[in-house]
Every structure is written in structure tokens, then in C-alpha cells.
A and B are shown apart, each in its own frame.
Chain A
């Protein structure tokens, strides 16, 4: 007899209640969807949906507050940690997190990110590192790999002119107010499970009031990398991981 998957007791996998039942605008094969999903699962599992506030960035995740079933705000480009600071100070008993890409956090918003950590601001940062500006169509970011071709570095990033990739998880770990800083990857199921565990630890760090927590997630951008979804997951593994090792830099 066929199993009726439309009956709740037969469901073994469903949309987390912290995610809205809506279509996203993310490109096929992009790992934003995975990142959203595991953040939402953690919020569900910790019972935080009604207690959490998301601060969305400028970038591909600009509408993240639409996709998460949480109170949310849309920050100016790079200013999410500053806005989260104001929100957390006004709601000290609530869970406040930012969701930012590498253009938003590592480039235009680095001062806000660093000083939130300097203050030991009790917030969580989900940092999506895909080594490129996604929303504006594929320009070089501070985490672009040497030699990586982008629309603003067509012949590949020339480190003699534009410097070396920026290691955010390590940088944030060096600041005394950071309580938890790790890097994880979303290129396969095993690593995604590890990423989810780290996200859980980050939120638990905030619940315990220990200071700033950040999880850097190596993510794919098939559209702007000009690869298939499968190729881009391989590219994370082969090209990004050697530069951006998975690790716990502060726990």
C-alpha cells in the first residue's frame, strides 16, 4: 500500500517552521537555500522562532527576512552588525543574528563587524563566503581567490594589485569579545551537517550570553562563477578549501 506523504505522521522531512512557505529568488544550485534551511532547523530545534530577530544584509540575501518566519529588518550595506547592536541593546533577552555575504561583511562592513566583536556584542553572525559579489553580477570581493576571474578582475585576481584573500573567521577569532568563530563548508552533505552543528553552537553561545559568535560558511555561486551547480560544489572543495580551511578558531 502506498504511503500517504500528505499525512503529517508519515512526514520524515519537512520545511522548518522558521522558514516561510515561499519561493526564493536564489539561483539554482546556490547554497543560500541550504544555509537558510540549516539556520531555520537550528532555530526550530532550540525553540527560538518566536524569540529571534534576523538582520538581513545588502546582497543576494537582501530578502532573507521574507524567507525566514521571524521578526526581521533590512540593514544598509555592511551595517548589519551595527543595526543588530541597536536591536540587541533594545531587546537583550531576544536572539539577534545577522546573515551577511563577503561583500557586505568583509568589504564595506568590516569596521562594523570588527567593532561588534570588540564590544563582545552578544549577537550571532552567519557569514556566507562565496568569494564574489553575487547580486551585482560577479565582481571581485575581499575573499576572491588569487587568479579567480570576476567581472572586475577578468584576467583573475592579481594579488600584486588587489591583495590576498581575507580570512574572516580567523580575524574575528583574534578579537577578545568574540566567543565563537569557526569556518564550515556547504559543499556536501557531511560538511553541511557539520555546519549545522556549528550554527547550533553559535546560537547556544548567544543564549549563554558569552559574546559574539560567527560561523563562516563556504558557499557556492554557480551563476557568477559560471559553473554548473555540481562544478561549483567541486570548486569549493578543490579551490576554496585549501585557502579557507575548515576549523574552529575560537570556541
Chain B
């Protein structure tokens, strides 16, 4: 295997193809459209399903149908489209169907713009539909990591029978980088719960999210929460660099995590005790790691995001009220510069 220069959206689409995605349904929206276009070529070539839906509302329900049939199914979109999908997301989690969605984030609210942003953090991790649940949210910061996360996303979706987002921003979607593609996986056999027509089975299969009785729905929610706690226990992923002796830790994900890494490297070279904590799973969030770092002596945390401070609240909650947590970020489509992060970190370090 060798590395190949490839565009982010195309790389993530191809990674999904190689992970055995058998059905893709989507709707054009910038900045994710190349992803849909790659699927439009590759899926029919392999005898798999590509269908452009009439809306994101239809697309997510087509995904829901195909995933209920036990094939690896996905869609991709950006903030305004994800908003339209929310009803379907809730049904998918409520009926325990594995689904993967790639969100190439843009600026909001409303129509916002098509510049890179991390405006969907709250939407993906906390408000992705009505009811009590969190989807798994993977946030790669490079194209290679994006490829690896797409491969992982299908495995996690199948393992936990739940919804998994891979969240990148327009910058990662649109840029080109060298990346190595995984080998093509065999198509997975249909699981025993899948809707395929009863055939030789003794019992019919049902996929539903309705439990009319208070007891029934209570029991289902208990079961769902137990699954989510198991995911929190086993699936937290992050990158930590030079955190052990750090006076200040920069917390950032995705593109801002990547920029923050440059800033931290620069500050370390200048002799500053600065570290980086880059959450790779936005949900489950690396709260325990952050708490341990705060307990271990780091008293200053700088959260950097391409929004007005969404992950910020999770960091504050994790480290507690005695810790100095500050924020640097802006909305609208500008990517923070390493120098800006360094300047903010230096200002925090100067205060005793």
C-alpha cells in the first residue's frame, strides 16, 4: 500500500466504499458534495446502491430502510441538512439500527455560509434528535485519520447497533493530503435481526421505535442508557501530547486541533510547559482524561474551536470550577492561526 494525494471528501467516500458500505443515499450540499459525487461513480460500478434523494429528510429515511435490512448504509451532509435529518436520527437510535453519517461542517446558524466551521458540535453530540441519547461522534483532524475513522465508524455502528457520525469541517473536506487507503472489505452478511422478508426464519423480524406502555419505554430507555454507558467505558479516543508536566493544556478537535498542535509545538520549543489534548471522540467525550489532568496539576486549559464555544462547556464540566478554562474561537468560517493561539496561551501563562 502506498500513499496517494487525495481530496478529503473523496478519501472519506472511498474509505466508506472499502468498509463495505452497500447503500448510500444523499442530497447535494456544500461543502460535502464531492463525497456524494464519488459515491455516484463508485457504488454503481460495484453493483451497490447509490441514490440521490429528493431531500435530506428522504435521504435519512432511505438510509434507515436500508440499514434496517442489515446492509451497511450511510449518508453525508452538512449542518442545514443534518438539521433536516434529525427526525430520522432519533428513529434510527430508537430502533437500534446501525447507521454512519459524515458531516462536513459549515458556518451557521441558518444558511450561514460554506466556509469551514465546527458549528455542529452541540447538534451532533447533544441534540441530534428528540429523546435521551447521544450518537458516537468521531472527529478526525487529517485526511488519513478521516479515512481510518470512517472504517472504524462502520464497525462501531454494527457493534453497538447505533448511529455514528464522522464530523469533519469544510477545510478537511476540501483540502488534499497524502493518505493510504485501507483494503477493500468483503461485504458483511446480514445480521439475524435484519428485515429481509421472513423466509426460512421461524419468527418475523420487526424494526420499530414505538413502545406505548410507560413500563415498556422505560425498560427500553434503561437498556439504551446501559449501552451508552458501555460505549463511554470502551470507546473514548483522544490524542494527548506533552500533557504530563503541562501548566496549560490546549483542548481542540478536528482542524482547530491540528492548528493547536502547531501552536503547542512552537510553545514547547520556546520552553513553555504546554500540552495538547485533542478529543477524537466528541461523544463519548474524554472527560475522565481531562479530569485526571486537572487533578494531576494542570490548572489552565485553553479551548480552541471554530465556533463560539460549544465543546468549551464539556471541558468546563470535566475539569470543575476551580480550574481556569478560557476560550479562543470565532464563528463564520475563519480558521484560527497558530500565532493567535500562542498569544492567547502566553497571556494565560503570564497570570499567576
Binds B, one of A81-89, A181-189, A196-204, A227-235: A81-89
Q: With an 8 A cutoff between CB atoms, is B140 at the interface? A: no
Among B2-10, B47-55, B107-115, B344-352, which stretch is in contact with chain A? Answer: B47-55
Number of residues on chain B facing chain A (CB within 8 A)? 40
Q: Which residue of A lies closest to B64 (CB)?
A: A83
Q: Which residue of B lies closest to A88 (CB)?
A: B65
| Inter-chain contact A115/B69, CB cutoff 8 Å | no
**Chain A neighbourhood of B65, CB < 8 A:** 55, 73, 82-90
Query: With A and B bound together, what is the CA distance between A49 and B87 in angstroms?
Result: 31
A52 within 8 A of partner (CB): yes
**Residues 177-214 of chain B: 1 if any A CB is under 8 Å from the residue's CB, otherwise 0?**
00000000000000000011111100011111110000
Answer yes or no: A226 CB below 8 A from chain B CBs.
no
From known contacts A79-B61, A82-B53, infer whether A90 and B66 are also in contact, taking CB-CB under 8 Å.
yes
Given contacts A52-B197, A82-B58, A86-B23, contact A70 B64 (CB under 8 A): no
Residues of A within 8 A of B61 (CB): 75-76, 79, 82-83, 86, 112
Q: Take A53-B197, A71-B197, A112-B58 as given contacts and tell me if A90 and B23 are in contact as well, using a CB distance cutoff of 8 Å.
A: yes
Contact A49–B198 (Cβ < 8 Å): yes
Distance in angstroms from A164 CB to nearest chain B CB is 25
With a CB–CB cut-off of 8 A, which chain A residues contact B264?
A: none
Query: Chain B residues near A102 (CB, 8 Å)?
Result: none
Are B195 and A89 in contact, with the CB atoms below 8 A?
no
Encode contact with B along A192-228: 1 for CB under 8 Å, 0 otherwise: 0000000000000000000000000000000000000
Is A51 interfacial (CB 8 A cutoff)? yes
Report whether B68 and A86 are in contact in the complex, using a CB–CB cutoff of 8 Å: yes
A62 at the interface (CB under 8 A from B): yes
With the chains together, A75 CA to B92 CA distance in Å?
10
**Closest 9 A-B residue pairs measured CB to CB?**
A86-B65, A90-B69, A82-B61, A86-B66, A74-B208, A83-B65, A86-B62, A79-B61, A115-B54
21 A-B pairs, CB-CB below 8 angstroms? A50-B198, A53-B195, A71-B197, A71-B198, A71-B204, A73-B65, A74-B209, A76-B91, A82-B57, A82-B58, A82-B61, A84-B65, A86-B23, A86-B68, A87-B68, A89-B66, A90-B49, A90-B65, A91-B69, A112-B54, A119-B51
